[in-house]
Amino acid sequence: MAALTLVAFLVRLARLLESPEPPGTDGYYYVVQVEHWLTEGFFHVRDASWVLRVLALGSAVLGGPVVGVKVVSALLAALCVPAAWFAGRELDRVGEGTTLTPAHSQRERGHTRALGLATWAAVSPTLTHLAGDFPKTLGAMAPLLVVLGWVISGRRGWGALLGGAGALLLAATAHRLGASLLGLLAVGACGGLVLRGRRDAPERKGPLLLVGLACLVCFALLTTVLPNLLHPKDLERVSSQLDLSPGAPPPFPYFALRRTHVLQQVELGASWLGLVVGAVLLWRRRDLRPLVMGLVLPLAVCLLPLWRGDVLDLGYRTSLLAPLLAVPLVLLCVPPWHPRQVLHPWALALLVLALVPLARFGFDPHATPPYGRFRTVIARIPRPLPELLITHQGVNFLYDHVTGQEAMAWAPEPGLDRTRVGRLVWGIEDGEWMAYAPEQEGLPPPVRLDRDYVYVREDYFEAFLTRVRAEGDEELLDRLTDWHNPSAVRPASLLRNHD
């Protein structure tokens, strides 16, 4: 297991290091966060996630934010391997339908599901994808696997209770999606208990419920004072992305929006098998209904087309979490076997290690925004620089990294002085600027930076936008409200506890 964890770490790290730029669309977000924390003692964008602090500590040790983010991200993915082994061992135990299997028989039977789940964690292209694009979300994966194993294990000693409580809080505070999955797991497990009905042998649920309640109270207190933790105010942002119209379910629509290797497509698409297996298990294994429902409910939320849009929306991110829930369900249907029945243990170990390089196909480190072009555009912005620059995602944090000035991918709040705010406008031709030029005098004219980008002051841009709307030029309005030209003001949930 140590060798499998180490090789998984090295394969993913080597993949991330293939590009000198930070990985992913939000790569410079993590770089800027780390830089501010190391130099100023606080983050540029206030965030309570422990993952950012681990990234910063790794960057301090390794001497640079770019390499530090990559190394820690690869490490977070590698930690899923031992966590998956632990969860798989407990699945091995309950998968036989009894909790009284003697230790000797357990060894003879082997760890079918433990090996299967650990191998998935080492080989998974999707975990590599999360390491490159969404390290905070990835930070919740290993704790979630530990929580799964702890709940199944039935261990209620003080050490197990403290370990389980720690895993619960780590998963909940890594990212909002981690806390959301925990909530769905709990609701599903409670529904499974109702479906199962009473058992002849009493169960000790008291310690588990007590720890769960204590963690819930602790998290509720934390989210009232810390930013960017899951909070009821986030419902506004989630509901705004809700789309109940007919459409293809995740993850299939995203394969056309983002270049995805066929191995990851198979992994993500096969997650639907988890729902089928879950339905069969609910019918045939009454004793497993709490466990199965605890996995099926969040898996259904990840796979059903409740949120659809581009590759940065909620539906896309949740679809990447589906294998974490689907693989344990599928493994519950795998009949037990011992390695000696198939291969010599050393041959099996070498085979598993040989599969780990497949993990590299979950992320293309060169598929980043055109940072070279963006640097040229930033260098051409007229000096002195504005107090705030409005620009799209990919440029915003690079601008902060290069200039040390403030930028955001949202429209400015109504109270901000428009004469102190600049904007990079994408996709507007010079003739269109002339045709809809504002009638007010004294406004500085647009400055062409390259074939696509123009720099204007925010008051000029808003006056220009008003004229376009008055003339009813719908095609131009579509470009002005494209994601390249931020038009939405930051939701209140993102500003909570930032002061």
pLDDT band for position 203 (50/70/90)? Answer: low
- Is pLDDT above 50 for 104? no
- What is the predicted pLDDT for the residue at 335? 73
Average pLDDT over residues 345-369: 86
For residue 242, pLDDT over 90 is answered with: no
pLDDT score of 103 more than 50: no
3-state helix/strand/coil string of the chain: CHHHHHHHHHHHHHHHCCCCCCCCCCHHHHHHHHHHHHHHCCCCCCCCCHHHHHHHHHHHHHCCHHHHHHHHHHHHHHCHHHHHHHHHHHHHHHHCCCCCCCHHHHHHHCCHHHHHHHHHHHHCHHHHHHHHHCHHHHHCHHHHHHHHHHHHHCCCCHHHHHHHHHHHHHHHHHCHHHHHHHHHHHHHHHHHHHHHCCCCCCCCCHHHHHHHHHHHHHHHHHHHHCCCCCCCCHHHHHHHCECCCCCCCCCCCHHHHCCCCHHHHHHHHCHHHHHHHHHHHHHHCHHHHHHHHHHHHHHHHHHCCCECCCCCCHHHHHHCCHHHHHHHHHHCCCCCCCHHHCCCHHHHHHHHHHHHHHHHHHCCCCCCCCHHHHHHHHHCCCCCCCCEEECCCCCHHHHHHHHCCEEECCECCCCCCHHHEEEEEECCCHHHHHHCCCCCCCCCCCEECCCCEEEEEHHHHHHHHHHHHHHCCHHHHHHHCCCCCCCCECCHHHHCCCC
- In tens, the pLDDT along 331-353 reads 988 776 655 556 666 677 888 89
Is a pLDDT exceeding 50 seen at residue 98? no
pLDDT at 373: 95
| Mean pLDDT on 483-495 | 83
| Tens-place pLDDT, residues 376-401 | 999 999 999 999 999 999 999 999 99
Q: Which pLDDT value is given to residue 460?
A: 94
Lowest mean pLDDT among 273-282, 320-329, 434-443: 434-443
- Please compute the mean of the pLDDT values over residues 278-301 and round it to a whole number: 92
Mean residue pLDDT of the chain comes to 87
pLDDT exceeds cutoff 60 at 495: yes
Band the pLDDT of 452: cuts 50, 70, 90. Answer: very high
Residues 125-170 pLDDT 10s: 999 999 999 999 999 999 999 999 998 887 778 888 899 999 999 9
